[in-house]
Structure 1
Amino acid sequence: MQEIKSYICGEWKSGEGVETELFNAITGEKIGGVSSKGFDFDAVLKYGRTTGGKKLRKMTFHERGRMLKALALYLLKNKKKYYEISAWTGATKSDSWVDIEGGIGNLFANSSLRRQFPNLPYYVDGEAAPLSKNGTFIGHHIMVPKEGVAVHINAFNFPVWGMLEKIAVNLMAGVPAVVKPSSVTSYLTQAVVEDIIASKILPEGALQLVLGSARELINYVKPSDVVSFTGSASTGLKLKSNPVITQNNVPFNLEADSLNAIVLGQKATPDTPEFKIFVKEIVREMTSKAGQKCTAIRRIFVPEQYVDEVQAAVSDRLAKTIIGDPSEEGVRMGSLASIDQVKEVREKVEALAESQNIVFGDMNDFEVTGADKEKGAFFSPILFRNDAPFEKTDVHSIEAFGPVSTIMPYKTMDDAIELCKMGKGSLVSTIVTPDDKEAREYVVGAASMHGRILVLNEECAKESTGHGSPLPLLTHGGPGRAGGGEEMGGKRGIMHYLQRTALQGHPSTITEITQVYQQGAKGNVLEEHPFKKYFEELNVGDQLITEAREITADDIDQFAALSGDNFYAHKRDTNFEGTMFDEQVAHGYFLMSATAGLFVDSYDMNPVLLNYGIDNLRFTKPVYAGAKMHVRFTCKELIPNDVTEKEDDPKTKIKRGIVKWMVEMLDEDPEEPLVGFATILTMVKLKNQ
């Protein structure tokens, strides 16, 4: 029997004895055992906070993002080994692809989010809030990494994805992790962690792995820690109710298995492509991972006139699904994760059978290819039919966590929405319809009780990732029974591991803290034009005050002729009575163009490679002929820019950064000089090539 060790406090360690024995789900052969008896969990968490946390918090978001990218590339090189081990869990190759490469994909996705964060260890959230009449007192928000540990207690069904989708987020935020996978499939998680530690890509202490029981681990968490749990609602509730969690107000994210539903729209008649898409989606979700997904379809709602057709079509496809050893040719569904899981699913199927009828499948009589049905954890797909879902309600509360689902009729879309809500909160539901108005009706009615809704039709089906696929840039979680939690979600997910703090002070002080120039702050007026400086030579607050330019009526006429913008307010002969203007007014876009003419230094080659955008352009008051306008041009923010090299293209190899410039258009009015403002983005060359 193989000893499967934990990685804690900087070393691989075994617990005392064996708490849980692990078995190959296909052959029934013993793999090894795990234990955490004798572990000092207080020391484990302290090690993460001190050793791992301190190092991660010193890194910027951009450094953390590049770290995740390097880790993703490293794990991809080793994926063949993970596929081989994944087969022991009963997973087919396509099941393993979702788990392994889907998990690695989360590392890539979160790595790319670095571009939405500053090159700082902390995040500047939102815009400044004016708090005083004269602008000398403003407010802002920053978000800093929590000085604790992310404790992840994961389910058995996705031993790789479940870990990587979570740690990608907390590592990006600058918070270390302690991962506690389900013992049943922890040997696969351990194989991946072993490679992560060997790579030395993560700082020491950034990732620890606890195998075996971790009941005592929760007793040592602090207010600075974050706990996330994926698994059964009952276990999650017990953990969430732990006095240490409640008394210390430790953030606890619960993602529980839910009774997810799919709805066939009334316009998706049997002769439409959507009907076939609906049937295919059901069968895929029943058989993928042998139905062992928190997002799997458990309830199928169909217009009452199409129930027979759906039942026949789903049964026909299920009958063609070959169950067995995933390494055998033609096998499309593997086993459950363990014999214990078979017993649990069987009990739930028997409970459901008391109030509804099995129309496909037999728990005792089914064929298995390439394996011994008695030794492996195999289970037949089971399709129920419930013709009275408002009266026979066990289906809305009992979940068989396997290849089990129930077909039910509905009369109106309001009924379908109500039936979906009877699941008391779900991670996901799907509406399949060719009619966008029907889709809108369902989404608006059902969204309050769902964390995600897939709207599926012929136009998106080929590229759709499917009902059961949470995506790293979208939130994953759901209300009620689904746990009331939220994870992933791109930038939103990272913020779960950051502490938001409100700041108040002078604009110059807030500029220094945020490293983003705030209006009203003192600028560093340069003698040399800022466009002559390389990226490394620029500082936030570097400023240019331009000379003034008079805006003439001829300017306005010529811009109207050149642009074709002959809006009445830009014409001299307009009768302005009853309008918002006193006389001919300058075009806003002419003012922006004139502004560029004032601040652009174009006489010699300089480090500015290109201007590629304008953000937040606003015009605050009309400018009439005769007004004199000048520009205050200030370095607002400096952002590194990764170079993506293309073969045989030297232009892409130029090292550069992004500079955001605050552009303030000002006139001679001492009381209210601001005419307009914008943020200009330039790409600036690095001196060190």
Structure 2
Amino acid sequence: MSLLEVKSFAVGEWIAPDDKARMIENAVTGAPFGRAGNESLDVQAMLDHARQTGGPALRALTFHDRARMLKALATHLGKHKQALYDLSFATGATQADHTIDIDGGIGTMFVFASKGRREMPDSHVYLDGEVEQLSRTGSFLGQHIATSLQGVAVHINAFNFPVWGMLEKLAPTLLAGVPAIVKPATATCYVTELAVKIMLDSGILPAGALQLVSGGLGDMLDRLTCQDVVSFTGSAQTAFKLRSAPHILRNSIRFVAEQDSLNASILGPDAVPGTPEFDLFIKEVQREMTTKAGQKCTAIRRIIAPQAQVEAVIEALSARLAKTVIGDPQAEGTRMGALVSNSQKRDVLEKAGIIGTEAERVFGDADNFDVQGADPEQGAFLPPMLYHCADPDTAVRIHDTEAFGPVSTIMGYRDLDHAIALVNRGDGSLVASVITHDPEVAREVALGAGAFHGRLYFNSRDSMKESTGHGSPLPHMVHGGPGRAGGGEELGGVRGVMHYMQRTAIQGSPDILTAIGKKWVPGATEKPAPAHPFTRTFHDLEIGETIYSDPRVITVDDIQHFAEFTGDTFYAHMDDAAAKRNPFFPGRVAHGYLLLSFAAGLFVEPNEGPVLANTGLDTLRFMKPVQAGDSIKVRLTVKHKTPRNEEYGEVRWHATLTNQNDELVAEYELLTMNAFAI
């Protein structure tokens, strides 16, 4: 069988491996499978192509344009999943593993596409936080904005997730408007290469937006600038070597790392045998030990159970692990495939040997286990191996050695404080899980262990049917952790996008802030509406367009009728003497919601038109009470516009209610959906 020639994609061309390429083996058979690497890659030309071609093309698009691009890419990848599945079996992964890697990666792109449309503007500037008033009258204001970095993101990915590992970095990078150079781990780079080829062949991406290095990066990292980002997933040793390079330090080049992690799972003191939580705990640990053959950065490495339950956990977990069928990942019934390579198998055995100096192996024998449909001597197979540490307080290596495979160690705790101390011995982890039905246990662990973990996963009988699992990073939440875990925060929705943008404080007048952010700021110039704004389509409306209503007098009869009609007979609206005893009211006052209702009547256009629906109010505040005899009037200004689909968009209106003395009575933002055409 001919070897697979894994190519790089540089400056618009596919480049084959050279005579110094590294050999890749089939994880299942141990046989040579492919070659990758080319030392003659022109890395400077790649960087220039990304910065000069890919970057400008991406930055010319709005966040919504980029979000639509991500959705199209995810849809296109979804149509070619089978080819990715078929190739991925050579990595030792099962079909269930493919679902996590391939489907999970595609799903992550869809989430970022959705968040880009829902949480970011159809513009080029992201507004980070609210406007800050820096002067007495409001003529000088400040706001934080984020704009696209004008460099390139270099993604260095691990071997265990050749698709998800790429896409979870690529999605926020492209959404930020930054081109990427992807460098997958050589052992599984052939799967990444196929995914990249599928995306490039779609024609969806601008030229220069995505390049691929199959093999080594050469001196690329020494050519980066302050506008570039390195996003790394891998070992702590490699991360330290890369991030401490003088060029990286001297130029303050952003370095995002997700690295080694001694993740743990705590069995709550209430989760005794016979409870749903105990059974759930056993299921979660078994799944994390065997999924991807334990080759997950979030896998459970330390099992922390009440001392009285340790034997029960060992017995139940061993029984469940014994049912795990190991073998050819394509064979029917296989539940755990091979490790990625025989060198990885040797590394796991070496690390397991270190753990074995402080713990007793209580399940799994690497020299005696069954493999279905494959040769255990040739393929990179190992059984799940469970260790028990009787004295975790004096032990050191079980808390600092990660065997990146199907290996985990159980240890007992005396009380919850002891459990928290043990889980924190990992010196910074991506995730810790706590299986408990006691909310107070969860709170205590959150307070005691939160500082050492990027994510805390709590599960119980109440959430177990819909929970995503200890080991599943989600694009909505940050994925990273302090200390040993690298100090990074990937994913996390828009937080992940911000890794590839620069936060800048801008200061100036309301007109300046409005022009930069494309969002009207109170105090900025108002534009007289040429017609009632509710008669104008989404595209016709302009930011700052304003109308003023006629005044309306509030009467006692209005207040009385509203109270009787709604049932809101709160004393401040009904009893003048009681209202005067309240420090907030001068006497009997109008209902706040009466004022809002009258305000709507003052500015609404009743006839059918482009306004399709009122979808809500935001930031409502009542500033001054209104009594019978007072009048109110409304100012309504177009604050912001956001397209939602091909037919309509959301208009955010700034509304203020003032009284007969022009004093501010209430302020809020009205949301409507407006048609593009009528």
TM range (shorter): over 0.9
Is structure 2 residue 668 aligned with structure 1 residue 678? yes
8 Å Cα contact 1:92-1:327 kept in structure 2: yes
Change over 3 Å in CA distance of 1:578–1:295 after alignment to 2:
closer
CA distance in 2, matches of 1:2, 1:18: 15
CA positional deviation for 1:497: 1.2
For the Cα contact (< 8 Å) 2:265–2:432, is it kept in 1?
A: yes
Equivalent residue for 1:597?
601
Task: Write the deviation string for residues 431-485 of structure 1: whole angstroms up to 9, x where unpaired.
Answer: 1112122122122211110111110111211211111100000000000000011
Kindly state the Cα deviation for residue 513 of structure 1 after the two structures are TM-superposed: 1.7
Q: Separation in 1 of the partners of 2:608 and 2:6?
A: 62
Partner of 2:659: 667
Q: Which runs of 5+ in 2 are unaligned?
A: none
Secondary structure of the equivalent of 1:536?
A: coil
Whether the 8 Å CA contact 1:543–1:633 is kept in 2: the answer is yes
Question: Which of 410, 419, 430 is the matching residue for 1:407?
Answer: 410
- Counterpart selection for 2:71 from 59, 69, 72: 69
> 2:361 aligned to 358, 370, 386, which one?
358
Letter in 1 for 2:152: V
SS of residue matched to 1:191 = helix
Could you tell me whether the CA contact under 8 Å between 2:5 and 2:17 is conserved in 1? no
Determine if contact 2:549/2:633 at 8 Å carries over to the other structure: yes
Aligned-partner SS, 1:227: strand
Alignment of 1:520-599 (within 5 A): 520-575=523-578, 576-577=580-581, 579-599=583-603
SS at match of 2:321: helix
| SS class of match (2:252) | coil
Q: In structure 2, what residue type is equivalent to 1:4? A: V
CA distance in 2, matches of 1:296, 1:2: 31
Where 2:142 maps in the other structure, the secondary structure is strand
- The SS at the match of 1:69 is helix
- State the partner residue of 1:97: 99
For 2:604, give the aligned amino acid.
V
Query: Paired residue for 2:19, among 17, 21, 26?
Result: 17
Q: Is the 8 A contact 1:356 1:385 kept in 2?
A: yes
Count of paired positions: 674
* More off after superposition, 619-628 vs 11-20: 11-20
Equivalent residue for 2:335? Answer: 332
* 2:255 counterpart (252, 255, 259): 252
Residue 470 of structure 2: SS of its match in structure 1?
coil
2:110 paired residue number: 108
Q: Which residue identity lines up with residue 681 of structure 1 in the other structure? A: L
Residue 187 of structure 1 corresponds to which residue in structure 2?
Answer: 190
Amino acid at match of 1:60: T
Match of 1:30 among 8, 29, 32: 32
2:480 counterpart letter in structure 1: G
Question: Corresponding residue for 1:650?
Answer: none
**2:511 maps to 1:519:** no
Q: Is 1:657 the counterpart of 2:649 in the alignment?
A: yes
Q: What is the alpha-carbon distance in structure 2 between the residues aligned to residue 325 and residue 382 of structure 1?
A: 19
User: What's the offset of the Cα at 1:492?
Assistant: 1.1
1:579 shift after superposition: 2.9
Q: Which residue of 2 aligns with 1:369?
A: 372
1:436 aligns with 2:436: no
The equivalent residue for 2:495 is 492
Shift of the alpha carbon at 1:154? 0.4
Instruction: In structure 1, give the amino acid aligned to 2:648.
Output: R
Which aligned pairs between 1:615-626 and structure 2 lie closer than 5 A?
Answer: 615-626=618-629
3-state SS of paired residue (2:173): helix
Q: Which runs of structure 2 are paired with 1:287-306 in the superposition (5 Å)? A: 287-306=290-309
- The alpha-carbon distance between structure 1 residues 527 and 121, as it changes in their structure 2 partners (threshold 3 A), is closer
- Displacement, 1:572? 4.4
**Where does residue 448 of structure 1 map in the other structure?**
451
> Which amino acid counterpart does residue 654 of structure 2 have in structure 1?
M
Which of the residues 162, 166, 176 maps onto 1:159?
162
1:230-271, CA deviations, whole angstroms, 9 ceiling, x for partnerless residues? Answer: 010110011110111111111111101200001111100111
- Equivalent-residue separation in structure 2 for 1:563 and 1:614 (angstroms): 20
Map residues 155-234 of structure 1 onto 2, 5 A cutoff.
155-234=158-237
From the superposition, tell whether residues 577 and 349 of structure 1 become closer, same or farther in structure 2 (CA, over 3 Å).
Answer: closer
**Cα deviation digits, residues 380-408 of structure 1 (max 9, x gap):** 21110001000122100111110000010
Shift of 1:606: 1.4
Aligned with 1:47 (options 46, 49, 64): 49
Query: TM-score, normalised to structure 1's length?
Result: 0.96
Residue 320 of structure 2 corresponds to 317
Aligned equivalents of 2:291, 2:28: Cα separation in 1: 16
> 1:15 Cα shift?
4.4
Q: Which residue of 2 aligns with 1:648?
A: none
- Aligned residue number for residue 638 of structure 2: 635
The reply on whether 1:3 has 2:5 as its aligned counterpart is yes
Indicate yes or no: 2:129 matched with 1:126. yes
Q: Is the 8 A contact 1:9 1:44 kept in 2?
A: yes
Matched residue type, 1:561: E
> What letter is aligned with 1:592?
L
Checking the alignment, whether the CA contact within 8 Å between 1:15 and 1:38 is kept in structure 2 is no
**Which position in structure 1 is the counterpart of 2:87?**
85
What are the Cα deviations for residues 485-509 of structure 1, in whole angstroms up to 9, with x where unaligned? 1010011111121111111111122
Question: In the alignment, is the contact (CA less than 8 A) between 1:613 and 1:680 conserved in 2?
Answer: yes
Q: Secondary structure at the match of 1:222?
A: coil
User: Which residue identity is paired with 1:238?
Assistant: K
Per-residue CA deviations over 1:596-641 (Å, capped at 9, x if unaligned) read 0111011x22111111111111111111222121111100111101
Moved over 6 A (4+): none
Aligned residue type for 1:660? R
Q: Within 2, Cα distance between the matches of 1:499 and 1:268? A: 46
Quick check: 1:268 aligned with 2:237? no
Q: Is the 8 A contact 2:39 2:218 kept in 1?
A: no
- Could you tell me whether the CA contact under 8 Å between 1:361 and 1:380 is conserved in 2? yes
Secondary structure of 1:189's aligned partner: helix
1:44-102 residue CA offsets vs partner (Å, 9 max, x unmatched): 11211111110110101111111111111101110000000110000011011100000
The match for 2:506 is 503
Moved more, 563-572 or 76-85: 563-572
Deviation larger for 98-107 or 487-496? 487-496
Contact 1:425 1:480 in 2 (8 A): yes
TM score, norm. by length of structure 2 = 0.98
Question: Contact between 2:125 and 2:516, CA under 8 Å: does it hold in 1?
Answer: no
User: CA offsets per residue over residues 342-371 of structure 1, 9 Å max, x none?
Assistant: 111111111111121111111111111101
| CA–CA distance in structure 2, aligned partners of residues 194 and 203 of structure 1 | 14
Larger mean Cα displacement after TM superposition, 431-440 or 178-187: 431-440
Q: How far off is 1:215 after superposition?
A: 4.4
State, as a whole percentage, how many aligned pairs show the same letter.
Answer: 49
Moved more, 471-480 or 355-364: 355-364
Please state how far the C-alpha of 1:533 moved relative to its aligned partner: 0.5
1:29 CA drift (Å): 2.4
TM-aligned CA deviation for residue 578 of structure 1: 5.3
C-alpha distance in structure 2 between counterparts of 1:343 and 1:230, whole Å: 21
Aligned residue identity for 1:109: V
- Letter in structure 1 aligned against 2:652: K
Give the secondary-structure state (helix, strand or coil) at the position aligned to 2:605.
coil
The answer as to whether partners of 1:68 and 1:168 remain within 8 angstroms in 2 is yes
Q: CA deviation at 1:16?
A: 3.1
Pick closer, same or farther for the CA change 1:367–1:578 going to 2, 3 Å: closer
Partner amino acid, structure 1, of 2:90: W
Judged with a 3 Å threshold, the aligned counterparts in structure 2 of structure 1 residues 215 and 232 are, in CA distance, closer, same or farther, namely farther
Secondary structure class of the residue paired with 1:477: strand
How far apart are residue 573 of structure 1 and its match? 3.5
